Amino acid sequence: MSTNDAALLTPVGIVLALLMATPIFFHTRLHIPFSDTNDTSDTETDDWSHLVFCVEDWKFSNSDEDPHMRIYYSIFSMAMQ
C-alpha cells in the first residue's frame, strides 16, 4: 500500500469507526451501585464502595423502536470486524 492510499483510507477508517461507535455512545450509561447517600454503614471498610461500571442500556419498551435493533447492530459490527 502506498502512502497516498494510506492517506485516503485513514479518514474513511476514522469515519467508519465513529459511525459504528455512535449507537454504543447513545445506549451506554454509567452505573454506580453504591451511590445511596443515606447509607449509614462504614464506607471505609467496604471494599466495593468504589465500584463503577458502564452498562449498555438499550430501550426495548418504546413501541416506536425496533426490538431487534441491538441484534442488527451486533451482527453488522461482527461482520465489519
Q: CA 41, CA 43: separation in Å to the nearest integer?
A: 6
Q: What is the pTM of this model?
A: 0.51
Q: Which tops the pLDDT comparison, 25 or 46?
A: 25
Write out the chain in H/E/C secondary structure: CCHHHHHHHHHHHHHHHHHHHHHHHHCEEEECCCCCCCCCCCCCCCCCCCCCEEEECCCCCCCCCCCCHHHHHHHHHHHHC
Q: Where are the domains of the chain?
A: 3-80
Q: What is the mean pLDDT of residues 20-27?
A: 82
Q: What is the mean pLDDT of residues 45-60?
A: 73
